[in-house]
């Protein structure tokens, strides 16, 4: 396993992070709570990741309605590796229906952190991440609350997810203006099919020395080649259970580009998902890509990406090849 510095924090994380959004559910979707990986499967996935040298696990209080954190907490208690693990959880989505049960207000953050600590069976979170900006709460209120959580010892570092470059810049400027702890990481989607953050988020993160931990490096499994255009996905697949995030990609253009990736992977003698993940890891601003295997057999192609180092020219050639075929 390869390890990289996590921005300015001094932490060193594996270049693959284990995304635990499938434990107990499928992300934060309430209608899918209880339909994700059960505890034995989640334990097996965490065991394999840990054995492979992955020391960075990412979850959220809303994943599986709290089940993801609960399962991770049980695993940590049994395996006794908490001090060696970089543990990240996110906050912002609703776990209940009350007016204070979501968002990034001070009241919600102060309440939510205690729930996460209890479920995770730990006394601190290494990285506490906002799920997305909250239009109803000022960034100053959120940052002051996060700052207080850090001073209380409940949180070591903070980060932001699903955030635009202007929103991230505003938060960094506000932190510097009033002397608060800054966001140390940014977690947005990034893949060969979703390159939006290349325009401004990645340059800003590089300039500010922020860690970048993209999710969705295979676009919900599309880039593994297991789906075919016009054919319904398996009911228990990620696309079958929760197609909404990928609907704008389910078109002929996307699948033409996927065929180009299939040919490129065949030329190299690697799995499609391996090549797609290696492409993400090859960006110089990326610190660690979050993977979300649902079965043990999904892990090995992802681990293979660690050893597949693509040059800048190779990355550009692959992206250009896919774009040309799709056009």
- Please identify every residue annotated as catalytic: 63
Give ∠ CA 145-21-186 in degrees, rounded to 5: 50
Residues whose CB is less than 8 angstroms from the CB of residue 290 and which lie 6 or more positions away in sequence, other chains included: 16, 17, 18, 19, 58, 187, 213, 214, 215, 216, 217
250 dihedral zone (left: phi>0; alpha: psi -120 to 50; beta): beta
Rounded to whole angstroms, the Cα distance separating 1 from 149 reads 32
Pair of tokens at residue 138: 């000022």
Positive or negative torsion for Cα 4, 19, 243, 270: positive
Rounded to whole angstroms, the Cα distance separating 106 from 17 reads 29
CB 134 within 8 A of CB 105: yes
CB atoms within 10 A of CB 83: 6
């Amino acid at each position: 396993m390869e390890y990289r510095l996590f921005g300015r924090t001094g932490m060193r994380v594996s270049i693959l992070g284990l995304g635990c959004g499938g434990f107990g559910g499928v992300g934060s979707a309430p209608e899918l709570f209880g339909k994700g990986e059960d505890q034995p499967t989640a334990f097996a996935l965490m065991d394999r990741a840990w054995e492979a040298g992955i020391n960075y696990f990412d979850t959220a209080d809303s994943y599986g309605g709290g089940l993801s954190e609960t399962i991770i907490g049980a695993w940590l208690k049994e395996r006794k590796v908490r001090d060696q693990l970089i543990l990240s959880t996110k906050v912002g989505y609703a776990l209940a229906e009350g007016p204070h049960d979501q968002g990034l207000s001070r009241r919600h953050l102060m309440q939510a952190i205690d729930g996460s600590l209890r479920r995770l069976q730990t006394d601190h979170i290494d990285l506490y991440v906002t799920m997305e900006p909250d239009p109803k709460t000022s960034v100053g209120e959120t940052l002051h609350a996060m700052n207080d959580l850090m001073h209380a010892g409940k949180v070591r570092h903070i980060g932001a997810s699903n955030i635009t470059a202007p929103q991230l810049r505003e938060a960094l400027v506000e932190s510097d203006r009033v002397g608060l702890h800054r966001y140390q990481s940014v977690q947005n989607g990034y893949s060969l099919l979703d390159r939006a953050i290349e325009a401004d988020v990645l340059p800003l993160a590089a300039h500010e020395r922020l860690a970048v931990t993209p999710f969705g490096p295979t676009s919900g499994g599309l880039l593994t080649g297991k789906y075919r255009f016009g054919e319904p996905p398996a009911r228990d697949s990620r696309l079958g259970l929760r197609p909404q995030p990928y609907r704008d990609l389910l078109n002929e253009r996307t699948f033409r580009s996927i065929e180009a990736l299939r040919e490129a992977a065949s030329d190299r003698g690697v799995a499609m998902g391996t090549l797609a993940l290696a492409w993400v890891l090859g960006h110089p601003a990326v610190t660690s890509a979050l993977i979300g295997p649902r079965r043990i057999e999904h892990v090995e192609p992802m681990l293979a990406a660690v050893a597949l180092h693509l040059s800048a020219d190779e990355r550009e050639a692959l992206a250009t090849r896919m774009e040309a075929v799709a056009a």
